[in-house]
Amino acid sequence: MHILITGGCGFIASNFVHYLLERYDYRIINLDALTYAGNPENLREFENNPRYKFIHGRIEDVKAVKKALRGVDRIVHFAAESHVDRSITNAQPFIQTNVAGTQVLLDACRQAKIDRFIHVSTDEVYGSLGDKDRFTETTPLAPNSPYAASKAASDLLVRATAKTHGLPSIITRCSNNYGPYQFPEKLIPLMITNALEDKPLPVYGDGLNVRDWIHVTDHCAALDTVLHRGIVGETYNIGGESERKNIDVVKTILRLLEKSESLITFVDDRPGHDRRYAMDIKKIKRQLKWSPAVTFEKGLELTIDWYRRNEKWWRRVKSGRYRQYYQKMYGQRLAEGKKP
- Distance CA(234)–CA(117), nearest Å, equals 11
The residue type at 41: E
* Backbone angles phi and psi of 201, in degrees to 5: -105, 105
Each residue 211-230 as x (binds ligand TYD by CB under 6 A) or -, in order, gives x-------------------
Q: Within 252-291, which residues bind ligand TYD (CB under 6 A)?
A: 270
Q: How many residues touch ligand NAD (CB under 6 A)? A: 30
- Distance CA(283)–CA(172), nearest Å, equals 12
Q: Residue 201 pairs with which residues in a beta bridge? A: 264
The CB-of-202 to ligand TYD minimum distance in angstroms stands at 5
Cα of first residue to Cα of last residue in the chain, in angstroms, is 53
Q: How many residues in total does the chain contain? A: 340
Helix (H, G, I), strand (E, B) or coil at 13: helix
Q: Which of 36, 337, 75 is nearest to 223 (CA)?
A: 75
- Distance CA(8)–CA(336), nearest Å, equals 38
Q: Within 6-65, which residues bind ligand NAD (CB under 6 A)?
A: 6-7, 9-13, 32-35, 37-38, 58-60
Complex with ligand TYD: residue 53 or 270, whichever CB lies closer: 270
Helix pair angle (146-165, 102-111), 10° resolution: 20
* Interacting span for ligand TYD (CB under 6 A) from 18-26, 55-63, 186-194, 236-244: 186-194
Has 123 been annotated as catalytic? yes
Complex with ligand NAD: residue 178 or 263, whichever CB lies closer: 178
Q: Which of 150, 95, 97 is nearest to 121 (CA)?
A: 150
Q: Which listed residue (21, 192, 203, 253) binds ligand TYD by CB under 6 A?
A: 203
The 8-class DSSP code of residue 101 comes to I
* Backbone angles phi and psi of 52, in degrees to 5: -125, 135
Q: Which of 288, 220, 179, 230 is nearest to 74 (CA)?
A: 230
* Binding partner of 72, given ligand TYD, ligand NAD, none, CB within 5-8 angstroms per partner class: none
Q: Within 237-296, which residues bind ligand NAD (CB under 6 A)?
A: none
Q: Within 149-178, which residues bind ligand TYD (CB under 6 A)?
A: 176
* Interacting span for ligand NAD (CB under 6 A) from 3-11, 226-234, 251-259, 311-319: 3-11
The CB-of-9 to ligand TYD minimum distance in angstroms stands at 19
* Binding partner of 211, given ligand NAD, ligand TYD, none, CB within 5-8 angstroms per partner class: ligand TYD
**Cα 301–86–318 angle (5° rounding)?**
50
Q: Give residues in contact with ligand TYD (CB under 6 A).
A: 84, 176, 186-187, 190, 202-204, 209, 211, 246, 270
Q: Which residues are catalytic?
A: 123-124, 147
Q: Give residues in contact with ligand NAD (CB under 6 A).
A: 6-7, 9-13, 32-35, 37-38, 58-60, 78-82, 97, 101, 120, 122, 151, 174, 176-177, 183
